[in-house]
Structure formats: C-alpha cells, structure tokens
Structure 1
Amino acid sequence: MTVRGDFKEPARCRPDLVIGREELIGAAREQLARGGSVLLHGPAGIGKSTVLRALASEYGTPARTVLRCSATESESHLPFLALADLLGLVLDEVAEKLPAAQRTALESALTGRESTLQRDALALRLAVLSTLRALAAEGPVLVVADDLQWLDSASAELLGFAARRLGDTPVQLLCAVRTDGQEYDRHLRASPPDTLAVRLGAFSRAQVSALLDHRGYTGLPRSTVRDIHRTSAGNPLFALELGRALAENPTPPRPGEPLPVPTSLRALVLNRLEMLSAEARRTLLVASAGARPTVALLHAAGRENAEAETAQAAELGLLATEPEGPAVRFAHPLISAALYAEAPAQERRAVHAALSTAASDPIERARHLALATTGTDPEAAARLAEAAALARDRGAPSVAASLGLLAARHTPADHDPAADERRLQAAEDAITAGEVDLARDIAREVLTRATAPADRVRAWMVVIEAAGQALGEVDTVYPQVLADAGDDPRLLALVHYQLAWRALVVEGDFAEGRQEAAHAAELAARAGERRTELLALSFQAQTEILMGHPDGPATIKRALKEPQLPELACHHNGAGAARFRWLIMSDQLPEARSTVSALLREARRRGMVESEVHFVRLLAETELRSGHCGRALDLARESMRLARDSGIGEVPSAVLASLAEAAGGDVDRALALGREAVELAEQAGDQMYLSRGLTALGHAQLVARDAEGAVHSLRRVRELEHALGINDPARGRWHGDLAEALLRIGEVDEAQELVAGARTHALRLGRESVLAVLDRAEALVRAARGERDAALAQLTSVQDRLAKLGYGLEEARAAFALAALRGGRPGPTSYDEAARLFRRCRALPWLRQVEAAAAVHPVEPNAPSDTSEGSDGPAGLEGLASMERQVAALVMEGATNREIAARLFISVKTVEATLTRVYRKLGIRSRVDIVRLAAGRRTK
C-alpha cells in the first residue's frame, strides 16, 4: 500500500476512541465496504477527526493508495495547497500517463509556477481526474481529507470536479467537514453521487460519562457528570476539557456554582467578547448567573439597557435569541459558563446579590443569596433550608440536596445540631435523586462528629442504602448501628428493616428476611413511625409473595391501609410495588400494567430516580409477559441506560434487558447481558439476583440452542431457589425452560420430575399461566416418550389457555412446539401459524428459529395433514424406544443430524448417542443401513 499526503498512516484506532458512535460508524463501514464514499460532518469538537482516523485506519489497509490532506484555517488562502498535499508525491508515478497539456498544468499548479485555475481550467481539471484514474488502474484509491471547510477554494473546486466524474473508478472519498447546521449540502454536491453524509451529533449523558471514565476522570459524582453534559451540550471535546479542569482544580465548585472552565475553552468561545461594551458584558454576566434568564429578569437586576445590550451580543453570535424575545439564551452553554468563570469573584457575588432579590422563584432567590454570601449567616441558612423543602415538595430532590448542603454550610457553629439535621436531609434527598456517592460522603461527614443516637442512625441508614445491592460491603456497619440505636423502638425499627434486606440479599434467607421485616413493622407501630412501618410491611408482603406464603395478600392489605404517606405512594419499596408483584404473579396483566404505569408517572413527577429505574424495568417485564416484545425491548434498554447512568439497579436491569433481548432483540446481546448480571451479582454477594441472572442466562442459552449451557445455568437456579426457600414458580418462571433444555439433551425422566414438582406449588397457589407452561413442557415429555397423540392434544389445549390469559409469547412457543411435532404440515398448527404469532409479538429470535425449522422441513402443496405410519414412526421399528423410533424415522426421510436435532428439540450430541443405540438394537452399522432397511421393508 502506498500512503501519500501530509501525515503518516495512523495506527488502528481502538474501539474505545469512538464511544457512542457505534451505529454511525457501522453505517459508514457498510458504505465504504460497498465501495462508496463518506462525508462526516458536525460542529467543532464533536469527534469527526477521531472517527475519520478510525475509518481511514480500517479501510486504508485494503487500498493500494491512500491520499491524505488536512487543511488548516491559517493556510486556507494558499491556492492548490491541499492539491499538493494529495498529489504532490504521486506526480512522478503518473506523469508519463498524462497528456502533455494536463501534465504541464498539474506540475505548474503543484509547484506554484505561473499556471492558474482560470487560465488552464480545463487542462488542470482533467489532469486531476486523469491522475486519480491512473492510480486506480493499479488498485483501489482512498482519498482522506479532514477539515474540508479550510480547503483552499482552488483545490476544493478541482477535487469536486473529479469526484463527480469518477463513475465506477475504484476511488473512494472519506472526508470530514465542520458544520453547525445543514450547510454540509454544498460539500456533498462536490462529492461522488453515492456519498453517504453522516452527521455526528451530541453525546448523551451516559456517553459523556463513559468517555470521562475512559480518559481517567473517574469517580465524578452523578450531579457533576450531569453538569458537564449540560455545559458541554454533549460535545466530547468540551466535556473532556471540563473533566480535566475539574481533575486539576483542588477546590470543587460550590453547590449551585457553574463548573470551572479551562483557559483553552474560554479562548475558544469568548474570542468575540472583546467586541462587547463593558456594560453589555456585565449584562451577559447577569444572564450567565441566572437559571432561566429573561429580559425582564435582567431589568429587575438593574440592567436598564438589557434590550440593546443583548441585541449587540446576538449580532456577535453570543446569544441565540432575538433580543426582543422573552428568553435570553446563549448560543452554547459553554459561553455562559466561560463568561461566568472569567469574571472576578467579587463581581460574581455582586451579580448573585442582585439576582437574590430580582428572581421571582423562592428557590432561585435562596440559591443566589447563598452564592452572594461569604461565611456563615443564620438568615441565609434558614432561607436555604426552606427552599430545599420547597424543592423536595416540587419533586426536585437533586436541587433539594444542593440547597440543603448550602444551608448547612451557612449555618453558624453555635447551631451545629441544625447543621447536621440539614446535612442528613440533604443526604436523604441525594439518595432519592440517585446521587449515592454524594449521599454517602455527606453521611460519613456527619458520622465524624454527630453524637446524638438519632442522627447517627439516620447517617448509617444512608450509608447502607448507598451500598445498593452490594450490602455485603457494609456488613461491619450493622453492629455499630445497633449499638447507636440502643433500646429506642423508633431507631430499632429502622435497623431491623435494613437487617431484613441484609437477610435477603447477603444471606439469601427469605424466612429470616420476612421475620426481620415483621419485627421492624411491630417496632415502628409501637413508636408511631408510620413511614418505617409501611416500608417494613411492604417488604414483608413482597417476601411472602415470592415465598408462596399464604399470608402475602393479607399483608399487602395491611400495607395499603390508611393513613398512607405521599412520599411512599410511588416508592419502589412501597406497598404499590408489592401489589404490582402480586398482580403480575397472579396473571392479572392489564391491571399490573396500569398499576406500574401510574407508579412510574408519579416517580418521574417527584424526581425519584431509583424508583423510576425500578418501575421502567417492571413495566418492561409486564410488556414482555404480554408478548409485546418490541415495546419490552425499548423499555428494558431505557432501564439499562438509566441504571448505568445513575449506578442504581444495574443487576436487575441487566437481567430484564437480557430476557428482552432474547425475546425480541439480539441473542448474542442477551447472552452477554445475562453473563454480566451473573458476574455483578456474584461480585456483590447477592444470592437473590444471582438466581435471577442465571435464569436470564439460561433462557438466552435456550434461545441460542445451547441446551447443555441452559441446563447448567438453570440447574444452578433450582439449587439456589431451594436454598433461598422460594417455592412460587411464578417468581422466576424458569421451570419450563429447564424442562425443555433437559429434553434436548435426552434427560426425559429429570424433565418429568421437574414438571411434577413445580406443578404441585403452582396448583396450590393458583398460578394459571405457570401451569399452562408446565403442561407445554409435559407435552414435550410425552412426545419424547412416543405418546404423540396425547402430546398434540395437550399442546393444543395449552396454546388456547395461554392465548386467553394474554401471554402472547408463550402462546407462540406452544404453537411452534405443535408445528414441530406435526412436522410443519399444513393446518392451524403449522410453521406458518407459529411464524404469524411470533411476528405479532415482534419476537425476532424466535421467528428466525421458525423460519429455519420450516426451511429444514418444507411442506409439499398437496402434502397430507398427518402421517400414515402411526404415532410411533414407520413400521418395523417397534423394538426401539420412542426417541429412537423418531430419530430413525427422520433418518429414513434423509434428515441430517442437525436437522433431526432442530425437529425434535434435542442436541446434535443426543441425536448421535441415540443413533448409536439404534445401530446396536437393529444390528446395523450406519445411517445408510437404516435407509436400506426401510427400503427393503417397503418392497416386501
């Protein structure tokens, strides 16, 4: 490969350098693989050059020649400079292949002699085109051009002329251009007709977080990452610079203050600021300090000429609003942050002092008062505490936590108890907002000096809750918090509620968890602590439901009795969540959907992030049970994004996402998520979610046709749930999957035993959908034993029952089993019918399995609807067992071992073992002998 241009061939870029661009890069890759061209465009700092280098590294390898140029603004006035970068080093190679006039024109342009584009226009244009064609005659050519906006006009015109006329010549262009909107059109018009334009947009908050982590800016609080994302507007370059500034700044910004902006970014966005008058600049500083600045607010803050001064800023591109409009919006959030960072501290305090009286919102006034005040101030602290309470009532717990911290910091030393109370409330607000790192830090700070038992126990509760699923990491806390609680029933109720969670998560002991929760509820009722009592009753109810305990419904009713507390109405551990679990396990899907949808709406309204993550996941589970696989997949992916963004509920979200991917998405992704859930649960020592993770992994392995893997995973689930004391088969719904996987590896007796044991509990608890799935598994057991007619009748009944219950995906799976048992013959239970049902559910992985099975066993147009040899296969095989007869019959039809495995829902290994037994019993040596034996018997 020949590399030409003004810089060396870059090393292959690692995948982590293109975070958040996977889908876009996938489209560009496909385009380049087809021989097409790609134009990357987007604003400055968005990552165009990074993506360009990654693609050039990958697709430059198969090209014989790579031509490169990278223009700069300072050199854009020099004619033919880019052309010289591209073609200067290949001129000697192709010169003899060009007509004399073209060679002379090109040499003149590249060497800077007398030729001009105007005088030698046609010859020079044709020379560039001929050069590219001559290079392409020796092998594919890739032209890589970065920063097209700085390309000198002469080179741009010549490159565009040639690009439009290359036709089928194997020359591809890979270019990048800086754009703020849609003006990439003019660059696209100068590209080959088949060019794909790929716009690189802003990063999401999760992508910004991943980028910061990759570059080493780890451990940033969630609120800080949120501020970086907002200030950078998702621009990766800006986000990295802000992250670097935070890492280098020994003093983090105070709550409510904008982020520190490094000098590099200030220079980038404030170069037009010098053209503003001093008064206009001060007006913009007031706007930068306001949360939602308007012209009216600027007037109230003493900026009398706000209209004229904002108009001047808008003309310079600093503001993105019409000056007469009500809102004052900066062209980019970074301009506002840089302007604020540039101002002296005294000037900033004066601006906040003006806004503390000008702002109409009491929360905003209190925030500005805090930022205008230095040192302690009891009046400012009181106003901030009131504002925090107001933010809490409005459903903005993150704002409440920030204001509460400010209130604590402005509380005088002689008001220490009040300061600790405000810190603890801020920590609890941070937990609600999903900012667990901040909450933990605040609680630890309180514990260093608090002596009051109530304060210490509250702080310990925050530390425990901040641990999430990893309760094993705070095991040493429980003796300390019990000692701090003493014999106070109010405090002991809190401790025993957390001990109930520990019993469930760390010990995996449902019975002990239920006992601890009941004790906590009793203590809380005695102390008049209704909040703790409701939470403990809800926990007790959920535990009883999962255990299959008969008291579950009654405990839910106790938890739902008045008086209720508004803040618990949509709490993920509240009575509403317990009732949802009971509804979905009782097959009341429509009511379960409406219940969890209402809980989700209220959680979002109140800003309860952890509850939102939880209820999005539960809504996804409901849609999955209902057979709405596409909707479930969208919700599961949303839950996964929320969990990873907040660091809350990652294991449960991975479990549900794995199940949703296996049902309606990508099976490889389902397997990866299942393994991730198992690994995270094992690391956290969470036995309950280890069981759920293995359930998801086993299901994904079944869908991937890895029967041995599914059996291994789901046998572990059986052992874990037995140890945990979980008796309700509706909790994990894995029994049908394990039975089917056991049949595929030939373990018929174990499958029958499993079904019988699970049916006992399902009958006792009235789990109708579970009974239907168990009957489907039992029908497959009967089919494996040769009881074909009984299996067909049972599967037909199962499909009808699942349809009536509203379990669309399970109904489709029953139809698939029927079609496979009947050999795909025409009728109401054909492969076409199974495909229709899976298509209705948007269950793509299952649909692909049906299509594969139908392709293995195509049905003739006039094929009979059933066999004529009877249920046990062709005559002459009576001495064989049921499975052996079925395998031998399919061999007689000419099916391969893989086709037999697909037809009978068993593994290829099981087919091979079965054939070995057939050979021995029939006294033959190979499958060919089976075919000969059958042919001989038919001729008798």
Structure 2
Amino acid sequence: MDRRVGGATGASSTAGMTGDVDPPLVGRRDVLHDFRQLLQTAADGTFRFVGLAGDPGAGKTRLLDELAAEAGRRDLPVLSGRATEFEEMPFSAVLDALDDRLETIAKELPDRLGAPAAGLLATIFPALSGAATGDAETLAPATGRYHLYRAVRRLLEELASPDGLVLILDDVHWADESTVELLDHLARHPPRGRILAAVAHRPAQASPRLAALMEIATRIPVSPLSEAEVGELLGPETNRARRRALYEASGGNPFYLDALARMGTGVGTLDGTGEPTEIGELPPAVRAALGMELSGLSATALLVARAAAVVADEFEPGLVAVTAETSEDLTLEAINELVARDVVRPAAPGRFRFRHPLVRHAAYESAAAGWRHAVHARIAARLADLRAPATARAPHVERSARIGDQTAVATLVEAARTVAAQAPATAAHWLQEALRLVPETLDMRLELLLELARAQAVSGRITEGRDTARELLRLLPPDDFARRARAARLCGIMERQLDRPHEARALLLDELRRIPDTQAPAAIELRMRLVTESLKRSDFRAAQAVLDLMPESADGWEPSLVLAVAAVRPMPAYAAGRIDDAARYATEAAGLMAAAPDDHLADWLDTDIWLGWLELMMGRYADALQHFGRFVTVAHATGQSSMLPHIMAGQARTLTMLGRLGEAAAAAEEAAEEARHLRSNESLGFAVTQQCLVASWSGDHESALRLGEELVGLGLGRREWWAAMALYARGMALVHAGRLDEGAEQLLDACGDISDARLDPGTLMACCETLADVEATRGRPQDATAWANRADMLARTGLETNGGFAMLARAHALATSDPGVAAEQAQAAAVILDEGGMRIQAGRARLRAGIAYTAAGERAQARAELGAAAETFAECGARTLHAQAVQAQRRVGVRVPGATGRSAGPYGLSRREFEVATLVAEGCTNQQIAERLFLSIRTVETHLSHIFAKLGVSSRVGIVSALNQNP
C-alpha cells in the first residue's frame, strides 16, 4: 500500500488530500504523544518495543513515517523495512531494514561482533556474506536459532551505538515465522542501548504467534478518524452533507476516505443487495491495493468473493453457494480463507460481511460483466423461490431482466411503491427501470410516469422530473383532469425550482382553463399552486384574490388539501395589514396541523411550509421553530430533499431573530448544501440569504460579503420576494462591514416602493430602522428623521415589535441633537424588542441607549445599558456588536475582564490570538489563517471574536490599527 495515500490522516482541503505532497496530520494527537514519550524513554537508554495495530488503510504507515520524522528531529538514526505478502525469504522485513546499512560497515563487524556471530549473521544478510572470515558455528537447529537471534540483538546494539536507533517494520502480519520469532526474542530479551523498535500490523491477519507477541508489546491502536477529524481533513470547502456522507461511507478509514473523496459525488453507498450503485471508478492506487488483496486468493475463494459481492454486503453462505454454483462445504472453506485474509468478517450469526464497501466493490468489478448478469438472474430466481420481498429482488431483477418481462416489471413497481415514501430517489430509479422494460403500447406507462415524476420531484432530481411531467402531460388525454392536475402541479413546482417561474405560471393557468368545474378538487390543486406562485412574487393581492374564490373545504377534498388551504390563508392577510385576521387564520391552521398525521403534511409540504414563514414574520418564533422542525422531519422521512432549502432557511431565519446564531449558521449551511445539490438558484438564494445574514450578525464580515456577492450572481432583479430578501441581506452585510454608502444603496433597492414593497412588513421595518442608523452615522440627521418617520407610519398597522423598531429608528435620528430623549427611546425599544424575543435587536437598542446616555452625561445609566448589551451580544455570538459594546464600556470607565491578565501576551492577547492577529495584519483571510495554523475556520472565527473584544475594535482594519500601536 502506498505510504502517502494509505496513511492520509489530515489535510486542509480535499485538494490537498489528493495532491502529491503529504498533507499535514489531523488528529492522532494521542498517538503522536505516545511516540514522543517512547522516543524519550529510548533516548534515555531503555529499549522499547511498540506495536501499531489497525485495519488496512487506517493510517499505520503514515504514523510510522511521523515516528521516523520525529526521530530525525531528535537526531536518532532510523532504519525501516516492511514485510510483503508473497515474499518467502526468511527475515525479509529485517533484511529490508538493515541490509543497506550493513553494506557500509560489513568489514568492521567481524572485529566488533566476533567471527562466529558475523558468520551467523552472514547466513541471513547478503551484505555480510563477503565479510565473513569463517564458517558459522555448526549448532543444533534450536540452538542455532537462539545464537542467531542473540547475534541480531548484538548487531542492533552495535548499530545503536553511540547515537541510538529506531527500527521500523511495517506490515508484519505478512512476516514469516522466523521474523516473528526473532521479534519475540528481542521483546523478551531486550538489547541494551538507545533502541526503539516499532512494528505495524493488521490484527485480523495476524498469526497466533504475532498476536501473542503484541500482548507483551506497548500496543498503540490506530482507530478510525472521528467525524470531526474527517471534517477537518476534508476542509471547509467540503459541505456538511458531503462530509457526513464521506464519513459514513468510509467509516473514518483514511485510505477509503481519500479514495471516496477523489471519486466526485458518489460516496460509496450500496443498494443493499446488488451492485454498488453510487461508487464510481476507483482511483488507480486504490484499485491496485484492493486488487492485490484479491489476487492472493485461491481460485475458489476469489469465485466465492465475487459471488458474495453480487449477493450483498452482508450475506449468508447458502445463497452464495447457489450464486457461485459450488457446494456449501466448498463455499464455507472459501469463506474461511476470506476471513483469514480479512476480506470478509463474521457478522450476525451465520452471516458474513465485507470488510468495507470498497472491498466489495473491487470484488464485484473484478468479475466479468456477462458472468455478473447470469449471477443476478440466478439470485433473483432464488429469492423469488424463497418469497423474498420485492425490495430484495429488485436490484437483481433490474440487472438481468429482458424487455417485456411482465414479472420483472411487477417486481420493480412493487419495490418502488414500497420505498416511495421513505426513499423516493430509489423508487424513481426502479420506476425508470420498469419503464425501460414496459412496451411503448402499454397504458401502464401513464401511471408509472406519474409516479416517476413525483418521485423525481420530491427527491430533488428536478430537471429529470420536469421532463417526465412534461412528457406525461403530452400523453395524457385532455379530459383526464385529475392526473393532468397532479402532473401540472409537480411540473409547476419543478419549473420554479429551475428558475422558470413564468413557464410554471403559464402551465398552471393553461391546465386550469381546461377544467369546466372551477370547484373540482383538480381545479383547487392548481389554484393552490397559483397561490404559492403569487406569494413567491410578493403579489399578495393576487394570492388573496385566488383564495377568495375557494372555500375552506368541500366534499371530495382530501384532508391534506384542507390543511394546505388553511396554511396559506394567513400570509396575504398579514401582508395587507390585517393582523387580527392573520393571527386567527394562523391559529386555526396550527390547530389543524397539530391534529394531522405526518403523511397529510407530506402531500402538500411545499404549501404547508408557508405557515412557518408566516409565524416567523409575526414573531411567533416558538410556533415557527416547532413547525419548521416538523417540516424537516417530514421532508427527511419522505425523501423530499427539494423542500429542505426553503424549510431550513426559515428555520435559520427564526433562530437568527432569536439570537441563536450558532444554531442558525448550522441550519443555513445545511439549507445551502441541499440547494447546491438541487442546482436551483431560487432555492440557493433562500439559503445563502440566511447564511449571509447569520455571518453578518456574527461579525464574520469577510464571509458575509462573499456570500452577498454570490447572491448577486444568482440573477437578482426580478420582482420576487426571495430576490428582495437577498438584496436586504447583502445590504446588511455591507453596512455591518462599514461600507455604509454601498449598503444604504442596496437596502434602498431591497425596499423598492414602500407602498408596494416586495419585502415582508417586518423586514421592511428593519430596513427603515437600519437606514435611519446609517444616515445618523453619516451625519445626516434630517435623512435619519425621514426614515424614522417612515418607520412610524409602518408601525401603526403592524405588530408591537414594529413599534420597537420605530422607537429605535427615532433614537438614531435624535442621537446627536437630543441624546437624553434618544436614550429613553432606545431603552423603551429594547424592552419591546426583548419581550418580542429579538435578542440581538434588543441588544442593539441597549447599545444605542448606552451611547446616548454617555453623550448626555448619564454615566451610571450608560454603564448599565452597555453592560446588558455586551452580555447579550456575547451570549448570541454577535462578535462585532460585542466589540462595539466593549469599546463603549471603556469610554465610560468600565474595565472589561479579559483585556489584561497574568497569561496575556502583547496587546493583552494570548499567544494563539496574537498569531491570528498578526496574520490578519498580513492580509490573510480566515481560510488562509486556518491553513497556516492548522486550525478549523470556526476556531479562527472564535479567536477573532476574542481579539475584537480585547482590542476594543470591530473590524479587521481595527486589528491592523491596534497592532500598529505600541502594546
């Protein structure tokens, strides 16, 4: 196994991991600590014998390299060798380690060790054959081995004098018995001198004697990497979902992790019974390593391994015997060999499992394609005889059935319908296979196409699903209203996700005109989709107009449709300022939702989620979180990945409003990951907007601005609610980063026409308050007053928290001319916002009150408000705001803990904080700092928050200015 690839245990990114240079080590701190301790003990003159144990690819070789490097740093000579699987020469690993070194001292050894010992050593070391002055002593075999081992021990003592010696032997599970016996002798009769002997082996392939030897060695297990270490290894460019998938597929094994990371999007899940379906072509090094493992098998064992790979990852011998067409006795003998070679391992009683899915993949791919086809057919027939469920038969049927095979079609359709609710992507695959086998003339194709379109839609395969739905609409009779409505609704959802809202709306209207009964359930389905289209466009009047044509329920409606209608009714009322009506509708919808089973939500999840957004906008944060959480659960349970970006964006927005920025960041990141997988700009816009806002409020201005620029590239400018929210997020990022002019311009674009705004009322109010703050900061009190007046006007028909924002806007406008009144206004705003659950906004109000009280000479009041603000920002993780509060506290004489202290270094920073600050001053980004210092991005951000607080600054520019002053 290649040392670099097999031992890859850390890198700052996937690119680094797959490059030509050893990546920096991640994790393994306990092992490296043990190495240092062992080397120190050996350097003090005590022989140490250590054994590294781990599965293939666990990183043993890389760790031995690290041991050698550490020994080199201590000026300890290193000799290394390795055993090989098919090497039959005795003592081959020891010879590999020592022979080259012995060539340089061959002439000296007879004098140093004595002629008899040199003669014994010459029998195993070719480098000494010419230097031996006489024959080795003629001794009995047992005595001869003992004298030989003593000679090797004396040889090691000579090699270790005077500088010491580190002897490294890799892959000793392949070592011959003589080598193991020699190592056992050295462990029980330690040589004198500064010597460390380290060996690495695979426990599952160790001989009984080697296993016994490891019992007396200092054992160091090389375990799989943890999920956190895998994340650090892959780096921040790898999103959370892919990190998790790679971790689960690799089992934390560095070699397999590296292989899977190189293979693109397929990360190695198997379909459960057939061919590995998501593993692509293996990298050459991995293919070669696994091929070597298989090439050492006997012909029967290789046949059984291939047959088992076709059967399943976990298999029972009887089915494998049928597959391989061998007797059960012969199959069991072969399995014994596979277990001994650690290709497979015992699993449940009477069952076995491949060591890793990649091993199964290699065994499967090593078989001829025609042979696999026949084997799949035999397995499918055998499983049918055993009355196995369709889901067990389908993977084999799809790989062996012929066109027109009705039994195969029935099996695939049954399997698809069985898993459709939980695994729609798998259902879609089996339905496609069924359609491939169904003749073009069969009417059955229409129903299968409808099922396929839905499975593709909910599982996120939106381009394929749109095409399927369009094809279905082309084939369906004009009067098949029910199926046409379902197909049109699915197609409309996917057209919008593909950034084609006009096509979606045109399709829905065209289908609606075909239906003569405007109150038929099919017509209501299409109208409901038109309502959601209008909500996305911020055309609340159009949404209300459609709802006015619909009853709350009617005969023939499914309960899920009743719930969906109730879920969208509150939003147009809220947008129109009918707060009481909106609250009543929301309460009624929440009641229906509480009583409804999850499958009712699943049918109309794209519509039901609007209730969560409405509750968020109305400040019902607990209800919103509860519903978004349930929506996520339903989406995961039913495989509706295409809905997750919208749901989790709402979840992130709610958490941000509550000041739970860490949780909000995680939700927004997951939303973005799902959206990127969908390749939908609209879905990505929802998610990145929340990522931008979270980063901005957290004080990570670099990320917020980068995300804001990404939003610009998604095609903003259409009259869509999500586009206006994206403009708002970018504007806030610019303002928080100190680019006030650009930020104000972007916020003005987001607001649009105040009388016909695209933003929801709450966000529009936040815009007015922020613009009042910006104008006051720019020294334009009249413009600030104008925005405060607009905020007052908006607050008259809105929620109580809007009144808090209006008071805060007024405080900004009065900050210079009448700081006392400004402080009172801000203090009152803080109470309202705090009661509304808006912790960060309440903190901002207290910060404004504290600064205004300072200007008014009310220092005691200022200290109280600033202290409360600083505490709030610290708890929320709003680093820049916290730094501003701390800076304001110092201006009124408050000594903030943590700025100085016994352990503080230059500028009151810790050593690591000073390193981060210095790299900031050099112009490094967070990513570059993380790579330079081998830290995670999140750790760098934490250090920056501490640096901001200790230096009393709020930006990276402030850090540079502070470092340019004398500490």
Q: TM-score range by the shorter chain?
A: 0.5 to 0.7
> Which amino acid in structure 2 is aligned with residue 820 of structure 1?
I
Residue 833 of structure 1: aligned partner: 868
Q: Could you tell me whether the CA contact under 8 Å between 1:744 and 1:906 is conserved in 2?
A: no
Q: Which residue of 1 aligns with 2:803?
A: 771
Instruction: Compute the displacement of 1:661 (Å).
Output: 3.0
CA distance in 1, matches of 2:301, 2:954: 79
Q: Could you tell me which of 406, 411, 435 is aligned with 1:408? A: 435
Aligned mate of 2:386, from 325, 349, 358: 358
CA contact (8 A) 2:669 2:691 kept: yes
**Structure 1 residues 836 and 907: CA distance shift in structure 2, 3 A:** closer
2:260 is aligned with what amino acid? A
**Counterpart pick for 1:608 among 631, 640, 650:** 640
Normalised by the size of structure 1, how large is the TM-score? 0.66
Greater alpha carbon shift after TM alignment, 436-445 vs 293-302:
293-302
User: Following TM superposition, by how much is the alpha carbon of 1:349 offset from its aligned partner in structure 2, in angstroms?
Assistant: 0.8
Distance 1:285 1:500, change over 3 A: same
Query: Are the counterparts in 2 of residues 816 and 831 from structure 1 also a CA contact under 8 Å?
Result: yes
Contact 1:775 1:795 in 2 (8 A): yes
Give the corresponding residue for 1:487: 514
Which of 276, 281, 284 aligns to 1:258? It is 276
CA distance in 2, matches of 1:461, 1:255: 35
For the 8 Å contact 2:53–2:60, the answer to whether it is kept is yes
Corresponding position of 2:688: 654
Corresponding residue number in structure 2 for 1:514: 543
Matched, 1:239 2:260: yes
CA contact (8 A) 2:321 2:331 kept: no
Q: String of CA shifts for 1:886-930, please: whole Å, max 9, x gaps.
A: xxxxxxxxxxxxx9xx99999999xxxxxxxxxxxxxxxxxxxxx
Contact map agreement 1:658 1:700 (CA 8 A) in 2: yes
Question: Cα distance 1:288–1:359, how it changes in 2: closer, same or farther (>3 A)?
Answer: farther
Q: Deviations over 1:730-758 (max 9, x none)?
A: 46843333332332222322222223213
| Maintained 8 Å contact 2:58/2:223 | no
* Deviation, structure 1 residue 718: 1.9
Change in 2 beyond 3 A, CA 1:567/1:255? farther
> For 2:16, which of 15, 18, 24 is the aligned residue?
18
The reply on whether 1:335 has 2:363 as its aligned counterpart is no
- Structure 1 residues 270, 583: closer, same or farther in 2, change over 3 A? same
For residues 703 and 198 of structure 1, what CA distance do their matches in structure 2 show? 45
What is the DSSP-based 3-state SS (H/G/I as helix, E as strand, rest coil) of the residue aligned with 2:298? helix
Contact 1:40–1:176 (8 Å) recurs in 2: yes
SS in 1 for 2:441: helix
Contact 2:731/2:742, CA 8 A, preserved across alignment: yes
The one of 732, 739, 743 equivalent to 1:699 is 732
Q: Which amino acid aligns with 2:824?
A: A
Q: Alpha carbons of 1:233 and 1:697: their partners in 2 closer, same or farther (altered >3 Å)?
A: same
d(CA) in 1 for partners of 2:372 and 2:852? 80
Residue 871 of structure 1: aligned partner: none
State the distance in 1 between where 2:847 and 2:169 align: 54
- SS where residue 381 of structure 1 aligns? helix
Aligned to 2:752, what secondary structure does the other structure show? helix
Q: Kindly tell me the number of residue pairs found equivalent between the two proteins.
A: 811
Letter in 2 for 1:792: A
Name the counterpart of 1:750. 783
Q: Of the candidates 628, 633, 639, which is equivalent to residue 596 of structure 1? A: 628
CA distance in 1, matches of 2:74, 2:356: 40
Aligned AA (2:894) = V
Q: Offset of 1:696 from its aligned partner?
A: 2.3
Query: Residue 584 of structure 1: CA displacement?
Result: 2.1
**Which residue does 2:159 correspond to in 1?**
124
Tell me the SS of whatever aligns to 1:329: strand
In structure 2, relative to structure 1, the CA distance for the partners of 1:306 and 1:727 (3 Å cut) is same
Q: Specify whether residues 308 and 907 from structure 1 end up closer, same or farther in structure 2 by C-alpha distance, changes over 3 A only.
A: closer
Q: Conserved in 1, the CA contact under 8 Å of 2:415 and 2:430?
A: yes
Q: Any conservation in 1 of the 2:612–2:627 contact (CA below 8 Å)?
A: yes
Find the aligned partners of 2:380 and 2:159 in 1 and give their Cα distance: 63
CA distance in structure 1 between the partners assigned to 2:588 and 2:622 by the alignment:
24
Q: Is contact 1:626–1:807 with CA below 8 Å preserved after alignment?
A: yes
Partner in structure 1 of residue 674 of structure 2: 642
**Which residue among 750, 772, 775 is the counterpart of 1:717?**
750
Q: Percent identity over the alignment? A: 17
Instruction: Decide whether the 8 Å contact of 1:398 with 1:430 is kept in 2.
Output: yes
- Alpha-carbon distance between aligned partners in 2 of 1:409 and 1:511, rounded to the nearest angstrom: 44
Match of 1:436 in 2: 462
Structure 2 contact 540–575 (Cα < 8 Å) conserved: no
Instruction: Report deviation, 1:111.
Output: 12
Note the alpha carbon deviations across 1:769-817, whole angstroms, 9 max, x for none.
232133223223222x231221222222222223322222222233333
The residue matched to 2:92 in structure 1 has which SS?
Answer: coil
What 5-or-longer segments of structure 2 have no aligned partner? 5-10, 38-50, 106-110, 114-121, 132-150, 185-189, 207-212, 897-947, 959-967
Unaligned segments of structure 1, at least 5 residues: 7-12, 93-99, 103-107, 133-143, 167-174, 215-221, 247-251, 862-898, 910-940
Distance in 1, Cα, partners of 2:829 & 2:236? 50
Question: What SS is found at the alignment partner of 1:680?
Answer: coil
Find the aligned partners of 1:41 and 1:529 in 2 and give their Cα distance. 60
Aligned residues of 1:395 and 1:607 also touching (Cα < 8 A): yes
Structure 1 residue matching 2:634: 3-state secondary structure: helix
In structure 2, C-alpha distance between the alignment counterparts of 1:429 and 1:456, rounded to whole Å: 16
Q: Is this contact kept in 2: 1:517–1:536, CA < 8 A?
A: no
Aligned to 1:922: none
Is contact 2:833–2:841 with CA below 8 Å preserved after alignment?
A: yes
- Structure 2 residue identity aligned to 1:354: R
Q: Say which is worse superposed, 145-154 or 837-846, in terms of deviation.
A: 145-154
In the alignment, which of 370, 385, 395 is matched to residue 413 of structure 2?
385
> What is residue 924 of structure 2 aligned with on the other side?
none
Q: Give secondary structure in 1 for the equivalent of 2:724.
A: helix
Q: Contact 1:620/1:636 (CA < 8 Å) preserved in 2?
A: yes
- 1:624 deviates by 2.4
Alpha-carbon offset, residue 760 of structure 1? 1.9
- Are the structure 2 counterparts of residues 853 and 213 from structure 1 closer, same or farther at C-alpha, using a change threshold of 3 Å? closer
Matched residue, 2:836: 805
Q: Following TM superposition, by how much is the alpha carbon of 1:434 offset from its aligned partner in structure 2, in angstroms? A: 2.1
Deviations 1:132-165 (Å, cap 9, x if unpaired)? Answer: 9xxxxxxxxxxx99999999999x99xxx9xx99
Distance 1:521 1:25, change over 3 A: farther
Q: Distance between the aligned counterparts of 2:390 and 2:328, measured in 1?
A: 23
Q: Distance in 2 between matches of 1:297 and 1:641?
A: 40
User: Distance in 1 between the 2:245 and 2:629 partners?
Assistant: 26
Per the alignment, residue 335 of structure 2 pairs with 313
Matched residue of 1:320: which SS?
strand
**Cα distance between partner residues in 2 of 1:708 and 1:798:** 26
Provide the C-alpha distance between the structure 2 equivalents of 1:245 and 1:675, rounded to a whole number of angstroms.
29
Whole-angstrom CA distance in 1 between matches of 2:504 and 2:512 = 12
What is the Cα deviation at residue 322 of structure 1? 4.3
RMSD of the TM alignment (CA)? 6.8
Distance 1:546 1:46, change over 3 A: farther
Distance in 1 (CA, whole Å) between partners of 2:865 and 2:170 is: 57
- 2:449 corresponds to 1:420: no
Residue by residue over 1:602-635, the C-alpha shift from the partner in whole angstroms, topping out at 9 and shown as x without a partner, is 3333232233443333333322222223332333
The alignment status of 1:792 with 2:792, answered yes or no, reads: no
2:403 aligned with 1:375? yes
- Determine the C-alpha separation between the residues in 1 that align with 2:447 and 2:393: 22
Q: Distance in 1 between matches of 2:488 and 2:232?
A: 33
Contact 2:13–2:237 (CA<8 Å) still a contact in 1? no
Q: Could you give the per-residue CA deviations for residues 337-356 of structure 1, whole angstroms, max 9, x where no partner exists?
A: 44444253112211122123
CA distance 1:614–1:483, change in 2 (3 Å) = closer
